[in-house]
Amino acid sequence: MKKWMKMTGSILYVVIFTLMIASIIVVLSSRTTGGDPQIFGYQLKQVLSGSMEPEFSTGSLILVKEMTSPETLKKGDIITFQGKQDDKQSFVTHRIVGVKGEGTSKTFETKGDANMYQDGTPVKANEVAAKYEGIHIPYAGKLLSYAGTSAGTALLLIIPGVMLLVYSTIHFVGAAKNRKQVAEIQMSEEQA
């Protein structure tokens, strides 16, 4: 039983520590670049509309990989590209429904899964920023937006720190009780 508790405690410590480090990376990355967090060419993008439902919904975070060779893209792939939405430039993530041309002169016809019609302007290969990697975290985009605020930054750094402090305190109290029990056993053995 004690071995199981010790192993559970160690796993909990690693999980909390990993979450704390991940939170710090996400917060610092989004604060320093002013954009989406990026690690090793992978980026977390927030879904701002429901155009790709049911693949992923509004408020989700999706994992995309920076596109270095768009000529490898094919029909069915989901891409992020520079597009125009509500008369302003922004990144759009939609599915490729048609491919025209060859190599670097390829163009892609795109459409949001929930949209009735495909996008009006074909996407040129050099306009493709990233490719969706099939991983999304529902509602986590709202957390990322909050992390960009001063209060969110403080909260995302403080909560894991407090969790780590609580775990350390519990671990320290448990170790102190264990030492006390060992000392009591040794005293009773010496008296006998």
Question: CA-to-CA distance for 127 and 65, rounded, in angstroms?
Answer: 14
Tokens of 190: 């010496």
Catalytic-labelled residue, pool 23, 30, 49, 60:
49
Active site annotation includes 23: no
Cβ neighbours of residue 67 closer than 8 Å, sequence gap 6 or more: 73, 79, 128, 129, 130, 131
Q: Which of 63, 48, 47 is nearest to 132 (CA)?
A: 63
CA distances from 28 to 23, 125, 190 (A): 8, 31, 57
Q: Which residues are catalytic?
A: 49
